[in-house]
């Protein structure tokens, strides 16, 4: 692990991504402390004001402070990202292990279900799930979580199958170590690296999906801010007050960019073939 952090420190691009991600997470956790205003408070005398010293990023059509809304919006993005990917990764890991280790009908059943899930475009599937469960933040997270399960499942299954045939697993089996122990102690550590990389990438996908669902009115409900819903509200004011749209969009772009940078450099660092 130390080796990885050392190498990450040398990778400037990866570092930039990491710093960006930490910055967003910090924003989210410190929102109540650093946000200048309450994100839902309406300053009726200050509707659609351009950025000023009083409202750093301007105000929206209700006179709400954009900066405060973006900061609180980061909470939503990070929370959705972590919980949704948490759901996806956990189930994906379990299903992938089972499928890869036991093969046969277990593998067949799990993977055919995953194929069905894979057959739907991500966003469409999430939309359908939210439409059935009802639009709110919890259901958005569940929906995005379900959508990310198949990717994790495939990844873990493929790794497990590769590892399973390796000598150290075969020898562990041959000396009679119990299956759960083999899975936990011998296989899991080995597939952790690609799994971690996938998590960072899935985080950015989940954040983007939340923005998209909120944009469509299916995510977090007004007046609570999310970057996607802010962008959606801003549509009608694109010309009149472009700052309402520009800043949330900028934050979405930067966040995704940082997560992807981090993910890419992690992949390079953890790939045994690229070890110099």
Partner 1 sequence: MKFKVLFILALFICMLFLAGCGGNNAVSTNGEDDISNSDNNAVGNDSEESNNENNNGTTGENMAAEQTLLIAADQDPSGLDPHKVTAHSSIRITGKVYEGLLQFDDDMELAPQLAESWEQVDDTTYIFKLREGVKFHNGREMTAEDVKYSFDRIKDPETASIGASYFTSVEDIEILGDYEIQFHLSDAYAPFLSYIAHSSAAIVPQEVVEEHGDLNQEAVGTGPFVFEEMVPDTHVILSKNEDYYIEGQPKLDGLKYLTMIDESSRIAAVRTGQIHLTTVSPESVSLLEANVELEIINYYTLDYNYLGINTEREPFNDERVRQAISLAVDRNELINTVMGGDAQLTGPVPPSLGNWSIDVSQHEMYEHNIEKAKELLEEAGFGDGFEAEIGVPGTYRDRVADGQMIQQMLAQIGIDVTIVQLEWGDYIDAWNEGRYDMLTGRNGAGTDPDRSLNFFFHTEGSANVWGFSDEEFDELAEKGRFEVDQGTREQTYFDAQDRLLTQAPNLFLYNPQNYIVISKNVSDYMPLPHSSERFHDTYLSE
User: Minimum Å distance from CB 63 to partner 1?
Assistant: 8
Task: Kindly list the residues in this chain that would bind partner 1 in the complex (CB under 8 A).
Answer: 40, 42, 44, 47, 61-63, 131, 134-136, 217-218, 221-223, 233, 235-240
User: Minimum Å distance from CB 66 to partner 1?
Assistant: 15
Give the integer Cα–Cα distance in Å for 8 and 246.
32
User: Minimum Å distance from CB 141 to partner 1?
Assistant: 17
- The 10 Å Cβ neighbour count of residue 6 is 10
User: Minimum Å distance from CB 237 to partner 1?
Assistant: 7
Give the integer Cα–Cα distance in Å for 52 and 63.
13
166 CB contacts (<8 Å, ≥6 apart)? Answer: none
Query: Tokens at residue 232, please?
Result: 């959606």
* CA atoms within a 13 Å half-sphere pointing along the CA-CB vector of 155: 24
65 bridge partner residues: 59
Query: Tokens at residue 228, please?
Result: 């996607």
Q: Which is nearer to partner 1, 19 or 131 (CB)?
A: 131
Give the integer Cα–Cα distance in Å for 90 and 127.
22
Nearest Cα residue to 201 out of 115, 88, 37 = 88
User: Minimum Å distance from CB 222 to partner 1?
Assistant: 5
Q: Which is nearer to partner 1, 130 or 201 (CB)?
A: 130
Q: Which is nearer to partner 1, 22 or 128 (CB)?
A: 128
Q: Which is nearer to partner 1, 51 or 63 (CB)?
A: 63
Q: Which is nearer to partner 1, 147 or 234 (CB)?
A: 234
Q: Which is nearer to partner 1, 122 or 233 (CB)?
A: 233
59 bridge partner residues: 65
Give the integer Cα–Cα distance in Å for 154 and 132.
26
Q: Which is nearer to partner 1, 199 or 220 (CB)?
A: 220
User: Minimum Å distance from CB 108 to partner 1?
Assistant: 38
Q: Are 195 and 152 within 8 A, CB to CB? A: yes
User: Minimum Å distance from CB 216 to partner 1?
Assistant: 8
206 CB contacts (<8 Å, ≥6 apart)? Answer: 80, 81, 84, 85, 88, 144, 148
């Amino acid at each position: 692990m130390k080796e990885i952090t050392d190498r990450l420190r040398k990778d400037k691009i990866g570092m930039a991504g990491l710093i960006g991600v930490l910055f967003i997470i910090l924003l989210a956790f410190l929102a109540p402390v650093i946000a200048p205003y309450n994100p839902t408070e309406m300053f009726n005398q200050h509707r659609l004001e351009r950025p000023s010293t009083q409202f750093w990023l301007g105000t929206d059509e209700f006179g709400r402070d954009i900066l405060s809304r973006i900061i609180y919006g980061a909470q939503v993005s990070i929370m959705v990202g972590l919980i949704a990917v948490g759901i996806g990764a956990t189930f994906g890991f379990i299903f992938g292990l089972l499928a890869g280790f036991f093969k046969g009908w277990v593998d067949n059943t799990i993977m055919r279900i995953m194929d069905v899930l894979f057959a739907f475009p991500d966003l469409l599937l999430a939309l359908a799930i939210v439409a059935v469960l009802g639009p709110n933040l919890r259901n958005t997270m569940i929906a995005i979580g379900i959508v990310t399960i198949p990717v994790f499942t495939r990844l873990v299954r493929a790794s497990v199958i590769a590892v399973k045939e390796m000598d150290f697993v075969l020898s562990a089996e041959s000396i009679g170590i119990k299956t759960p122990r083999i899975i936990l102690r011998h296989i899991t550590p080995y597939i952790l690296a690609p799994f971690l990389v996938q998590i960072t990438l899935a985080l950015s996908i989940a954040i983007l999906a939340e923005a998209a669902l909120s944009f469509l009115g299916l995510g977090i409900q007004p007046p609570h801010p999310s970057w996607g819903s802010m962008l959606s509200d801003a549509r009608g004011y694109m010309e009149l007050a472009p700052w309402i749209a520009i800043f949330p969009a900028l934050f979405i772009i930067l966040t995704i960019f940082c997560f992807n940078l981090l993910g890419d450099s992690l992949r390079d660092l953890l790939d045994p073939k690229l070890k110099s």
